[in-house]
Structure 1
Amino acid sequence: MTFTKAAIFGASGGIGGAMTSALAERGTDVHAGSRSGSVPSHERITPFTFDLEDEASIAAAVAPWKDDPPDLVVVASGVLTLPDGTGPERSFKHLDGDVMAAVLRLNAIGPALIAKHVLPLLSRDRPAMFAALSARVGSIGDNRIGGWHSYRASKAALNMLIRNFAIEMARTHKRASVVGLHPGTVDTTLSQPFQKNLPEGQLSARTEAADHLLGVLEGLGPDDSGKVFDWKGDKIEP
């Protein structure tokens, strides 16, 4: 699938910004969204603002797309460490209800609200795709070491939502796909506190990750809807 018009939510982040720039360089017109409005600069990039925790701002941002919707929407926003420095819990003894609520709100509820307002806009006659950045640690079947409770739970919730949305969209948008993506460990602000002990070769540059993810998306279609894929294109078990 070749994308002519895209929308990236979280275009000020490492992966979202790299995907925005990569799409623009490939000739795709891109709506690039962030809370601050600060996004990569390019003649094909049109910035917009939204707040992941403010549904009204999401609805207002996508309303102008009604008559000319994107054929690719990517939710590249998310959180691993909260702004106050609170990171993933290594034990259930460290669980805090407010922290869990914040992580779930940003990693699962926010993307769900974006989907609520974007999915109805997608074309019913042409191929279209909605993708959200998930994580391998959100796989229940692949969980071998535990920990990172709130983050894992939020990504598992996101994976379930992706599956739900895919089922619902298949009833009305036969050519649409709803998928999750695991980008691997990318050199971004989100991963920096956890890069120290990574095996050599496991950390990807942002531009490399963006190219991998776009390559995966270009090869997917309606038969892949509801599934989560890693940066190599391999399906991740739920």
Structure 2
Amino acid sequence: MAQPIEFREIPLFRYFEADARQELPNWFTWRQGKQGDIILSYGKSVPGIFIIAEGEVAVTIPKVDSALAILKSGQCFGEMSLVEEVETASATVTIHSATAKLMFCSVGDFKKILVNMPGCAYSFYKGAALLLSSRLRHVNSKMNEEISEVHSLISGILTDSQVPRQLTETMSEVNQTGAAVVSKLMQVMPLLTNLQKKFPDTRTDLEHLQKVLEDVFLIDSQNFDRISQQLDLIFQQFENIKRIANGGTAIPLAGDRNLFKKPA
């Protein structure tokens, strides 16, 4: 059997009077388990307060792969069952080490301590508030680390993919091609007018050809411009993803988002 730990070294009981701390071990019983044993389950009832005497436990929540915390000897869990009205676990606690030994006090018995031992209620809630604050800082720090890793991963993927550079090159090629088409059409149209004058018999065919080229000029050249604007919007969206991945904020898109909508 593990030796009882010193309650004065546990933050939750730091503010208890010395006499009260001496009485606390009498209210706790011993429990032990092996690696993988579940002590508390997320969303299930919390029977009371657990103090780790030997070994380690892992604290996890659904849909998060890594443990939020690894608690070791001298640390406790389950105390929020006395602070919150809803006595259900906000995380799953599993034995992480090969074996573990725990001290346990039920909710009912601990409430008796708070009622019957003078000053314990104030001391407990003060310690619980400070402990909760410390845990929130730890979780916030861990989540910030996870977010930072995701930012770095996304930024690396975007850099390796070279998508922004490829988009820039494609936009440049589209714009050059569109400009070349328009320029050549501008040269062809006067030639067709001259041909109509020199060869009146071909007037009908030349007018048809001229109509086809006008459609190219009025419709297809506009499509080049629309595609160029669409590529520019896509480029801006990739740039915003890079900004967010590097911890920045997105900027408003410049351009008409309706360009991607198909005409009715």
TM-score w.r.t. the length of structure 2 is 0.20
Give the greater-gyration-radius structure (CA).
2
The higher relative CO (CA closer than 8 Å, separation ≥ 6) is in: 1
TM-score w.r.t. the length of structure 1 is 0.22
